[in-house]
Each structure stands twice: as C-alpha cells, then as structure tokens.
Amino acid sequence: MLAEAAQWTDFGWDDRDDFDDAVLWWKNWFSPEEAWIFWREMADYDNIRTGKRFSNGLPIHVAIELRNRGIDALDVRDAAKHAPDAFNVHSADDVARAVEESRAWLKANKRGRTSRRRGR
C-alpha cells in the first residue's frame, strides 16, 4: 500500500487538506490522475463557467455514474476543451451530453483524443 500511497503523493495529492478527499477517491477505485481531473481540473472549469471561486469539482457520485456509462476522466477533460456548450459538472447527464458532443467534434475534425495521460 505504500507504493500506491506514493503514487498519490507523487501526482500532487500531498497537501494535508487533500487527504480525506484522496482517500474517498481511492476507496472508490479511481486512479490519482482520474481523481485529480474530476476533483481539481473540473473545479477550475466550474469556477470559470459559473464565475464563482470555490467549486468542489465534479462530485464523486457523478464520477461513479460516468464510469458506469463508460466515460472516463480523459473524456471529461476533452469535453471541457471541445464541447460547444458549457456543462454542469454536478450533473452526470449534462457531462455525458458534453462528452458526446466533444467526441462528435473530434471525429468531425478528424482528431483523436486530445487528452494524454500525464501529470497535472
């Protein structure tokens, strides 16, 4: 378990305030990268979309529902870049719609997935 914990801290989950959140994502079988995208990157996206400053990102229950639909964090990251309309990170249906729009845009523009697996 120490090696797995090291993966989380190496990815950036090293702040004491992040510990409880990291454990919640880990207990629900998310990787450090997936959790980072859903929790941190989608918080940044939501803050810009709503004009607020303190979004908590995509809620874990939404992430679980998306995973059950076959949508991963990289699909959501692509949707934040390529979906024509902004989407509500608190609604699995809204995020799924944006992912489908993003996939259609990528296909129409003859592009593959633009997100790559890498650190923050």
CA distances from 35 to 26, 107, 120 (A): 8, 26, 11
Owner of token pair 């004009």:
51
Tell me whether residue 120 is in a domain: no
Q: Within a domain: residue 113?
A: no
Domain that holds residue 55: 27-108
Instruction: Indicate the SS3 state at residue 84.
Output: coil
* Ordered mean pLDDT values, 10 residues apiece, the chain (120 residues): 68 72 87 91 92 88 97 96 92 97 89 56
pLDDT number for residue 51: 87
Judge if pTM exceeds 0.85. Answer: no
pLDDT at 22: 82
Phi, psi (deg, nearest 5) at residue 43: -65, -45
Q: Quick check: is 47 in a domain?
A: yes
Q: 22 lies in a domain?
A: no
Instruction: For residue 46, tell me if it sits in a domain.
Output: yes
Residue 37 domain-assigned?
yes
**Is 87 a domain residue?**
yes
CA dist., res. 120 & res. 113, Å (int): 17
How many domains would you assign to the chain? 1
Residue 20 lies inside a defined structural domain of this protein: no
Residue 72 near residue 107, CB atoms below 8 Å? no
Q: What is the pLDDT of residue 1?
A: 60
